[in-house]
């Protein structure tokens, strides 16, 4: 994935697109404190660095 094209702060919808997940799934990740988010102007925002960390720490290599 090319992270340099992402904005420094992503909306919930932008983050959903990057991860290819539903609104409910992303909200569950945020509420479970697995994906950090901040509220700005009443809207959830996800820092690009936090998203990259989440992706890097969620890698699954299977049972090899």
Residue 52 CA to residue 3 CA, distance in Å, equals 8
What is the structure's pLDDT at 3?
A: 85
Q: Residue range 44-52: average pLDDT?
A: 97
The answer on pLDDT for 64 being more than 60 is no
**How large is the angle between the packed helices 12-19 and 48-57, nearest 10 degrees?**
30
Q: Tell me the two tokens of residue 20.
A: 């290819």
Residue 56 CA to residue 34 CA, distance in Å, equals 12
Q: Residue range 50-56: average pLDDT?
A: 95
What is the structure's pLDDT at 8?
A: 97
How are the residues of the chain apportioned to helix, strand and coil, as percentages rounded to the nearest 5? 45, 15, 35
What is the structure's pLDDT at 28?
A: 97
The answer on pLDDT for 61 being more than 90 is no
């Amino acid at each position: 994935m090319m992270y340099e094209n992402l904005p420094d702060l992503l909306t919930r919808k932008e983050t959903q697109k990057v991860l290819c997940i539903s609104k409910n799934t992303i909200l569950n990740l945020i509420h479970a404190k697995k994906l950090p988010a901040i509220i700005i102007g009443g809207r959830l925002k996800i820092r690009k660095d936090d998203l990259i960390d989440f992706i890097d720490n969620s890698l699954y290599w299977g049972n090899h």
